Amino acid sequence: MHNDVTRRTFLAALSASTAGVLTGGLQKIVAAASASTSKSEETFLLGGDVLVNRLGFGAMRLTGEGIWGWPPDRENAKKVLRRAVELGVNFIDTADAYGPETNELLIAEALYPYPKGLVIATKGGQTRPGPGQWEQNGRPEYLTQAVDKSLKRLKLERIDLWQLHRIDRKVPVEESLGAIKKAQDAGKIRHVGLSEVSAAEIEQAKKVVPIVSIQNRYNFTDRESEAALNYCQKEKMGFIPWAPIGGSGSRSLSKAGNALEAEAKRHNVSVVQLALAWLLQRSPVMLPIPGTSSLAHLEENMAAEKLQLSADEWKRIEGLGRPHGIL
Ligand SMILES: NC(=O)c1ccc[n+]([C@@H]2O[C@H](COP(=O)([O-])OP(=O)(O)OC[C@H]3O[C@@H](n4cnc5c(N)ncnc54)[C@H](OP(=O)(O)O)[C@@H]3O)[C@@H](O)[C@H]2O)c1
């Protein structure tokens, strides 16, 4: 069922005008890959029982300037969410701090009642004094009410994946996660994840509550979290790279002068598509959540799911991301 859907929607994506120029390149690579490499897994079993398609969607960009307030075009933002689901996304990342609150509300507004199998991963533990400003709050009583409020805004009885947005250095992590364990025991949370953590911090957290995933910044040119990723792969935990295409600033992989440009041109695909394909093939536990407010970019990004690199191509590209000692 899922494969039929993704194949159909992929063809739709290819026929869309935005992807039109890329069609030849993608088809060529898919054909070459089926002859030379085994296809990487399209799905991942989060926490052993929640099946997600590995290429997800990050909803944070569906807010106003500074990740603050409602998106300037709310109707378009809802279309982006609905189209993401049509294109095969069943893993959407959000946080109570995006907006704040508006991002969770928007997801419910666009998608509730939710299609079967849709996994909404939210986060708590950061507050927003103003646009572009983020502060940590890991106090147990704060997190307890944050979970309740997310449940209400998302119109859920249980959150499939709740992630501690940041460890609050002012509060022992055992206390923060103790509150989350209680929420899990009460049936409000199915699985727990962390964000921006090291392998040692995962180990520490696991003493309080089972941890099924982490969300760290990671992309083709930013591999600071390589050790944490390797830990997740060993432990079969989900690794959710945020800013998988470099975010919105100067490090965006869509900016001219990117090291992948020549390789992307050679394959007649976009740099963003090549970077996402590279990421998906980096590890079977990799669950990228590229974000966009643009329907055209969404179509382009989702088409990358079908772009398969041969082992040699993947290795060649791997080397291009390390020219300035980024690792
Ligand atoms: N855990 C954390 O601390 C944390 C931090 C940040 C983000 N996140 C999560 O990670 C998700 C992704 O991170 P992110 O949004 O910072 O970075 P990203 O997904 O790497 O990049 C998003 C930016 O790239 C642009 N873009 C998307 N597709 C494009 C394309 N095909 N061509 C050109 N530009 C394109 C978007 O602009 P357009 O809207 O114009 O397409 C947007 O500005 C977020 O939505 C959020 O869920 C988590």
Mutate to test the pocket of ligand 1, among 120, 258, 297, 307 (most ligand atoms within 8 A of CB): 297
Cβ-based neighbour number of residue 270 at 10 Å: 26
In a domain, 326, yes or no: no
Least confident of 15-29, 128-142, 158-172: 15-29
In a domain, 258, yes or no: no
288 lines ligand 1 (CB under 6 A): no
CA 229 / ligand 1 centre spacing (Å): 20
pLDDT in tens, 301-326: 999 998 999 999 999 998 887 644 34
In a domain, 259, yes or no: no
In a domain, 253, yes or no: no
In a domain, 256, yes or no: no
Q: Can you give the CATH number for the domain in which 73 is found?
A: 3.20.20.100
Domain that residue 119 falls in: 2-248+264-320
Q: Quick check: 67 and 131 in contact, CB under 8 A?
A: yes
Quick one: pLDDT band at residue 258, thresholds 50, 70, 90? Answer: confident
Residue 98 a catalytic site member: yes
Segment 269-273 shows an average pLDDT of: 96
| pLDDT, mean over the chain | 89
pLDDT in tens, 62-79: 999 999 999 999 999 999
Quick one: pLDDT band at residue 41, thresholds 50, 70, 90? Answer: confident
81 lines ligand 1 (CB under 6 A): no
CA 72 / ligand 1 centre spacing (Å): 17
Segment 214-219 shows an average pLDDT of: 97
CA 208 / ligand 1 centre spacing (Å): 31
E strand or H helix at 148: helix 140-154
In a domain, 111, yes or no: yes
Shortest CA distance to 50 belongs to which of 149, 125, 162?
Answer: 162
Give the per-residue pLDDT at 267.
85
245 lines ligand 1 (CB under 6 A): yes
Quick one: pLDDT band at residue 257, thresholds 50, 70, 90? Answer: confident
Q: Whose C-alpha lies nearest to ligand 1, atom 9?
A: 242
Q: What's the pTM?
A: 0.90
CA 102 / ligand 1 centre spacing (Å): 17
The string of DSSP codes covering 97-147 is TTBTTHHHHHHHHHHPSPPTT-EEEEEESEE-SSTT--EE---HHHHHHHH
pLDDT above 60: residue 190: yes
Give the per-residue pLDDT at 63.
98
pLDDT above 50: residue 167: yes
The string of DSSP codes covering 3-39 is HHHHHHHHHHHHHSHHHHTTHHHHHHHHHHHHHHSPP
247 lines ligand 1 (CB under 6 A): yes
E strands in the chain? 43-46, 50-53, 57-58, 91-93, 119-124, 126-127, 135-136, 159-164, 189-195, 211-217, 238-242
CA 326 to chain centre: 22
In a domain, 152, yes or no: yes
pLDDT in tens, 223-238: 999 999 999 999 999 9
Number of domains in the chain: 1
Which whole-number Å values give the CA distances from 270 to 252, 267, 275, 299, in the listed order? 13, 9, 9, 12
Give the per-residue pLDDT at 68.
98
In a domain, 325, yes or no: no
pLDDT above 80: residue 214: yes
Quick one: pLDDT band at residue 212, thresholds 50, 70, 90? Answer: very high
pLDDT above 50: residue 57: yes
286 lines ligand 1 (CB under 6 A): no
Give the per-residue pLDDT at 261.
93
CA 108 to chain centre: 18
Q: What is the DSSP letter of 249?
A: S
* Beta pairing, strands 119-124 & 135-136: unpaired
